[in-house]
A and B are shown apart, each in its own frame.
Chain A
């Protein structure tokens, strides 16, 4: 039976996965084991996305299936069981921009790849990034932006991080709608990623991991 949930989730079989979880719980399977399997399943989804076997809808839907599984498991889980994480990434959509689809994909991919992600949401002021970097000690920051006005907000955020004396051992990546190498150089960020897979690659390159 082990591994069945991994397969069902990674193949996006929603109803079968949910039924399986219900049944397994009733049969006394450890909910932590099921949660572990679900995580492994999501990992495979992430891998398939990285190899372009899966696309954005698959990612979004796998998140929905996972939500359903967690909802069933939640009452049976003990609190405070933390898993080992590769490192911390602070991420958010730059000030003035309220778009979140691209950012959420990056958060998802970083998460399934083992990073502890601090998602600050949308329209995030530069100071909020600075404060969160201080609080978390994160060494990687991701700035997302769909609109061209985000170019300036990203530059302002990078500048604010520098002024706060946090820039030296910190890496900043940017991405979204119209972001390219040209814009990266304008903002002073370290790298730009054209999609969520590149964000993972960049983060891994900077803080380790497979």
Chain B
């Protein structure tokens, strides 16, 4: 009899999750070759990130946001408003460039939904920035310093009745709702239903319905693409998503300047808030990975990079909750995928604390030789192909760069050829050089 999920060890859960990813249930492969390619890519990824054996070759994963579509002259604006164009160019990209893994166009999102909800935390193409630009974050204190107690007290309630009303113009009236946990016993039902009768609240809910309808249209296109991509033989290397608790505060809630002053004015509040956020991130990462049937949990890291915190601040505020999230996700059999923008040279010593094969790190401007030396024997690393080189360099330069990466960081396996940043733009000759060269030179013999 099969073991019950809750009785399984972390390793057994991980094996089961990888088996699900490998099995690709429901996927109609276009040919036996496509199926073989899919499975070989999954196996290659597994061998690479778990550090259990040397893979057949270096996995190739050029990570892009608008790059895939930019290569075909499709603007970011078109991507966010014309879903057919978005997915058809993403498909063409796979056919022409043949990376081992696809990056989901779900990352792009729908401009229409953002418009309906009046999203304020970003500007997007045609909406505050040029139609040729990707989306860009608008720094701000979406959570005020005085909000810490209510965030710590009940994060979900804070999100629903404070943060969401501030960040989505259309949903501002949700601030009128009563906390959902006030609903107990028959006597509370009628009274707590009253806010839903307020015309403003009703309009907000109508907008949500409208956004939901649009999301369905969008999602069906994305879903169809994802099934087709897999059927063509391309797995994706992203299942769930989570963030470092500090980044939830620094990116999402308090903003970069807000959190930095909090470190001096209210450090205990910062720590308490992260204690509350940590289990939520673990749950989200694992939950999404389970839904996706893919064990990889994408974690973009931002405000812990070199220079953004002192060593002591990193050790006190950034690292412990991040480590808890990584280990928490790993203990459920998932594999955190740390997407580490900027440089992490002064942080590498902390990464040595991570258990073998528990996660993998895609670096941007980190010294790869140093990373390989310090953690490369037990943690898979990758990335570091510079955006500047890909966009303004020559194929020969790119090949030379990738060769050096494979020779140094790729030695013995545990290395993924990837861009260190989510690329908004692409240049055909250099991208081909990165992919084609690695396919040939990155073979382990």
- Interchain CB contact (< 8 A) of B260 among A14, A56, A179: A56
Q: Are B307 and A14 in contact (CB under 8 A)?
A: no
**Highest count of chain B CB atoms <10 Å: which of A14, A56, A58, A101:** A56
Q: How far is the CA of A185 from the CA of B392 in the complex (A)?
A: 9
Query: Which residues from B are CB-within-8-Å of A179?
Result: 388
Q: Contact at A61–B260, with CB atoms within 8 Å?
A: yes
Contacts of B388 in A (CB 8 A): 148, 151, 178-180, 182-183, 186
Selecting from A91-99, A127-135, A159-167, the interface stretch reads A91-99
- A60, B261: Cβ atoms under 8 Å? yes
> Nearest Cβ in chain B — how far from A116, in angstroms?
24
Q: What 13 additional pairs, Cβ within 8 angstroms, besides A99-B137, A147-B133?
A: A14-B264, A55-B308, A55-B309, A61-B264, A147-B136, A148-B388, A148-B391, A148-B421, A148-B425, A178-B387, A179-B388, A183-B392, A195-B307
Q: Does B189 sit at the interface, judged by CB under 8 A? A: no
**In the bound complex, do residue B389 and residue A96 qualify as a contact, i.e. CB atoms below 8 Å apart?**
no
Known: A149-B133, A178-B388, A182-B393. A98 touches B138 (CB 8 A): yes
- B47 interfacial by beta-carbon distance below 8 Å: no
Q: Which of A54, A101, A186 contacts B310 (CB 8 A)?
A: A54
Q: How far is the CA of A28 from the CA of B90 in the complex (A)?
A: 70
A173 to B340, CA, bound (A): 26
- Residues of chain A with a CB closer than 8 A to B389's CB: 180, 182
Q: Using Cβ atoms and an 8 Å threshold, which residues of chain A touch B138?
A: 98
Q: Is the CB of B421 within 8 A of A99?
A: no
Interface pair A149/B132, CB less than 8 Å apart: yes
Alpha-carbon distance A162/B309, docked complex (angstroms): 39
Closest to B423 in A: A148
B-contact 0/1 string along A90-124, CB 8 Å cutoff: 00000011111100000000000000000000010
1/0 per residue, CB under 8 A from A, across B113-155: the answer is 0000000000100001110111011110000000000000000
A64 proximal to B (CB < 8 A): yes
**4 closest Cβ contacts across the A-B interface?**
A186-B392, A57-B260, A183-B388, A178-B387
Name the interface size band of chain B.
Answer: 35 or more
Q: Which of B227-276 contact A (CB under 8 A)?
A: 256-257, 260-261, 263-265
Query: Contacts of B30 on A, CB cut-off 8 Å?
Result: none
Name, among A100, A180, A182, A183, the residue most crowded by chain B CB atoms within 10 Å (CB to CB): A182
Contact assessment for B423 and A12 in the assembled complex, using a CB-CB cutoff below 8 Å: no
Q: How far is the CB of B439 from chain A (nearest CB, A)?
A: 24
Give A residues with C-beta under 8 Å from B: 12, 14, 54-58, 60-61, 64, 96-101, 123, 147-149, 151, 177-180, 182-183, 185-186, 195
B386 at the interface (CB under 8 A from A): yes
Contact of A99 among B130, B136, B265 (CB under 8 A): B136
Q: Which residues of B contact A54 (CB under 8 A)?
A: 310
Measured in the bound complex, the distance between the Cα atoms of B425 and A187 in whole Å is 17
A-B contact pairs, 28 of them (CB 8 A): A12-B264, A55-B307, A56-B307, A57-B309, A57-B310, A60-B256, A60-B261, A61-B260, A61-B261, A61-B264, A96-B130, A97-B133, A98-B123, A98-B136, A99-B136, A101-B256, A101-B257, A123-B129, A147-B133, A147-B134, A148-B387, A148-B424, A149-B424, A151-B388, A151-B392, A178-B421, A182-B397, A183-B392
A55-B309, A56-B308, A178-B386 as given contacts; A147 in contact with B263, CB under 8 Å: no
Closest to A181 in B: B388
The answer for the CA separation of A121 and B256 in the assembled complex, in Å, is 17
B92 — which chain A residues lie within 8 A by C-beta?
A: none
**Contact yes or no, B265 A14, CB < 8 A:** yes
Contact pick for A57, options B133, B136, B263, B397, CB 8 Å: B263
B213, CB-defined interface residue at 8 Å: no
Which residue of the partner chain A has the closest CB to B128?
Answer: A98
Across the interface, which residues of B come within 8 angstroms of A183, CB to CB?
388, 391-392
State A127–B397 Cα separation when bound (angstroms).
33
Contact B139 A96 (CB under 8 A): no
CA–CA, A99 and B260, complex, Å: 17
Instruction: Kindly state the separation between the CA atoms of A182 and B425 in the bound complex, as whole angstroms.
Output: 16
A-chain residues with CB within 8 Å of residue B263 when the two chains form the complex: 57, 61
A182 to B388, CA, bound (A): 6
